[in-house]
Structure 1
Amino acid sequence: MHTTEEVYDALQSVMDPEIPVLSVVDLGMITAVDINSDGILVKMIPTFAACPAVQYIQRNIQTALEEKFSVAITVIIDQETLWSTSRLAPGAKDKLEQFGIAAPQVVDGKAYNEILLQTPCPHCGSKNTYLRSPFGSTLCRAIHYCKDCSNVFEQFKPVE
């Protein structure tokens, strides 16, 4: 019989297609793993309700776990849990910034949309930035401009 820890270890290889430096575990998308005689059930949540990659991620989870464990895998959307920025795993923000995307800012354990206006640049660290557009290349990102290093960059939006 397989363990929950083994399943989570295998899920570390399932990367987000829009941010390929973060796994579904890094993003806090996995809400439950149930191992039983019928196989493995994984419950997941998207980072945004209208995320166009949800079915793609579900298939990738199923494929990765089937290859690793050779049992029936079922991946369903958890309808009871909402994703928030606080679900990001330790180290996920560093991975985002190394990838060139500003991490969502959290103040006193909460994410606030107003702090989109004061987003540190992931390239030079300057806070001399401004919001160019609350809409980035994906629903979960906003576009900013750094006045110090002249880079345009995206930020993973804070969600509470």
Structure 2
Amino acid sequence: MNEVVPEAAQERDVHRTFIFSLAGFSFTAVAGLAVLDANTRVSLKVPTWYVFVSFVAFMSSLNVQSYKVTRRHNQIATGLQEVGVLSLMLALIALLFTANFGTLYQWAGAVLAWGAWFTDHIIRWRLDNRFLSEFFKKSQNDGQSN
């Protein structure tokens, strides 16, 4: 995890573009939900909290992206992005359960939102795990051949 990642492999611009787009969305959602909560009788504290956490996670990930050098930094930045995306999904789920929709609609939406995030998370985890285990095996073989 302490291996220095070459500058070309860090893809900072790609990560920053992704983070900026979702951070802007999270900020707008926090502002909108806070104003809506103040003007309605429906409490939107939970969804507002989730989009707030999302915004903070995305901005923290952006900060880590600016100084990432090692694989560990990349993993931290990616983890913060995952927290941001999961928080957005949880905000959607909280909004569904706050609204006056039917129970079936609420649960179907919740399963769909959480399932989409979870599926993507598992795929990313497996790809990272496969890459790191192959990298570790290669490092061990290189160390034994010296």
- TM-score of the superposition, structure 1-length normalised? 0.23
Larger Rg belongs to: 2
Higher strand share: 1
Higher RCO (CA-CA < 8 Å; seq separation 6+): 2
- TM-score of the superposition, structure 2-length normalised? 0.25
